[in-house]
Amino acid sequence: MKELREAIRREGKGIGQHIVKVDMFLNHRLDTRLMFDMGRDLADHFRKDVPDIVLTVEASGIAIALATAHRLGDIPVVFAKKSQASNQSEDMLTAMAHSFTHGNDNCLRVDRHYLPKGSRVLIVDDFLANGQATEALMSIVRQAECELVGIGIAVEKGFQDGGKILREKGINLKSLVIVTGIEDGKICMADND
């Protein structure tokens, strides 16, 4: 996706071998226009699959999930929570995910009532690396007896395994940009439009 690739080229920073730092527009500061451009492209890709819920995980998936849901005709968003709160229901679907960014394990939780059985679920997230968060969300979709219609991602780290594994499973995966590697601080991207 042209706009996202240009933003990464202009502002992104590669750190070491693995860290793609894009928090100046994607997951700390949000470039609002870019969020809705990304939402438009993901919505255009998945519209024919008729999703009725967008599922993501807090916190950095929420913005792109909301923009996508808006472009799909204001369908609801559900975001998985990473911590337990006093106002949560007791009927939670859960799945474990390891975060490489934070170096910890998260138990993702979704209230069963918000994923009604038979819903057509589109998973949306800002990043796909090893696919741990995505696999946890997929487990929650299965537990809820919903149908996964596809997975939309802003930035896929093509040098890690998540995307390959999902494609081998035949899942309808759309990554707006695929980062192929980091060379001397420069973020290299595939031409996948």
Give the Cα separation of 29 and 88 in Å (integer).
28
Contact criterion met (CB below 8 Å) for 129 and 162? yes
Long-range contacts from 31-36, C-beta under 8 angstroms, 24+ separation: 31/7, 34/3, 34/4, 34/7, 35/63, 35/64, 35/67, 36/67, 36/70, 36/71
Name the minimum Å distance from CB 167 to its own copies: 26
Q: How far is the CB of 23 from its own copies (least distance, A)?
A: 7
Shortest approach of its own copies to residue 67 CB, angstroms? Answer: 7
> Quick one: 19 or 171, whose CB is closer to its own copies?
19
In whole angstroms, how close is the CB of 168 to its own copies at the nearest point? Answer: 28
Our CB check for its own copies shows the closer of 80 and 176 to be 80
Q: Which of 29, 164 has the CB closer to its own copies?
A: 29
Query: Quick one: 36 or 46, whose CB is closer to its own copies?
Result: 36
The site for its own copies (CB under 8 A) is made up of 15, 19, 21, 23-24, 28-33, 35-36, 58-60, 62-63, 66-67, 69-70, 74-79, 81, 83-88, 101-103, 110-111, 113-114
Between the alpha carbon of residue 51 and those of residues 2, 14, 41, 60, 151, the distances in Å are 25, 34, 15, 21, 11
